[in-house]
Structure 1
Amino acid sequence: MLLIVGLGNPGSQYARNRHNVGFMAADAIARRHSFSGFSKKFRAEIAEGTLAGEKTLIIKPMTFMNLSGDSVGEAMRFYKLKPADIIVIHDELDIAPGKLKLKTGGGNGGHNGLKSIDAHCGKDYKRLRVGIGHPGHKDRVNPHVLGDFSKADQDWLQPLLDAIADNAELIAKGDDAGFLNKIALATGQANAPAKPAREPAKAPAKPATAKKPSGNSHIHQARQGKPSVPASGPMAEMLKKLFGNKD
């Protein structure tokens, strides 16, 4: 049996928060694969169905984020599951908006929902981390996380949720690489940042070249046997010493 956990906070006031993207993904999977309607059990909303031929329970803890492990641990013990049977979908500040990472085990990155699940279930469960981006300063983290997705976010949010739902069976089969590849193919264009227009490349300026002197020096003229050298004066005496007096 597989347990898919979407993390979030209960209540309509939190429904569109970035922190609730785990709930959103869980709902999308349940709809796409015709799971049962959600009912209440384990202090959570749960829906039953199958993924890749395996019985699967989707669970949305109603304990509020910081106590998510209370609910997940109860379901885990009831069904006698191991951490390896659990997939948790949650928001991730340190990943760019709309990007995904999938891993088993590891740290909680300060995520209170994961801290709670670690305490009740151990750490060796799979985490599907959905990037929501970092606001840039720690003082803005709470308003960002507990704020609704912006209008600009809608360009990537729904296509990403659809792609997660469409390819959820690959996670159930343990094909993590295949799942991430399918997501990239499905959302790559929608998630690609706009490239700034480039100005046409300018031809490099040619280095300035020194102008050639209009005439040759007196010494060069003397070597070439040219007559345009002074007949008298200091320069004439110097030339005579260099080349000999041919008079």
Structure 2
Amino acid sequence: MSRWSWWALGFGAYLAFTIATFPAGLALEWFAPRGVTFAGVGGTLWSGTAASATAGGFTADTLRWRVRPAALLFGRISADVEARIPDGFVSGNVTASPRSIRFSEVRGATSLPALAALLPVRGMRGQASVALETLVLEDGWPATAVGELKLAGLEAPPLIPNGSGALLPLGDYTLTLLLAPEGELSATFVDNGGPLEVQGTLSLDATRSYTIDALVEPRAGAPESLVEGLKYMTTEPDAEGRRRLNLTGSL
């Protein structure tokens, strides 16, 4: 074996030893994304734990990770991560670099109220599950997202307040995130049963402007308050009884 081969072997062994023994607390000080705080950190860079991790008012508990060391050679840190979140769980791979955070092979489930700190779902109820192939965040904003989101048992306040305080059942839905130009999000969504037959698209561009376009048709037995509320948000029904819903705005 040549001198250079021995040198490379020795350097590789040294790097592996360093990763395996480097304290997790110090590693997070160096590599943790801005705005993310950790508590109760233990273990090493290679395999560690944290009692909690908080970002943007959302907290995950019982965090565990195992690093993929090859990414360190390219100035990134990549780890397989799992954690408990309010009312559920999340797991997947996270790769962080100075410019972005990439999530892949993400699986998770929780309730909508538990996501109120992250998404505009206050006042709504239901269960959410996610299977993401890829999610890339740049400056805290989604640049790429491909995967699937499912909502079950969705309930929301009536479009026209009726004074009862009761939520309206809206059914189950699947939203499929599609590959789109960088900085833009594109998705289709359909109902999986419930009082409304729904089929539509959603787009979000780099300026954070969104467009929702859908065809909606109340099914037999749909609550009257739901049907009346749709009349104020949609066009007149077409020949097949479907109403067009078109919403635009910015986040």
Which protein has greater RCO, CA pairs closer than 8 Å, 6+ apart?
1
Please indicate the TM-score interval, normalised by the length of the shorter structure. Answer: under 0.3
Larger radius of gyration, structure 1 or 2?
1
Larger strand percent: 2
Q: Greater helix percent: which structure? A: 1
TM-score relative to the length of structure 2: 0.24
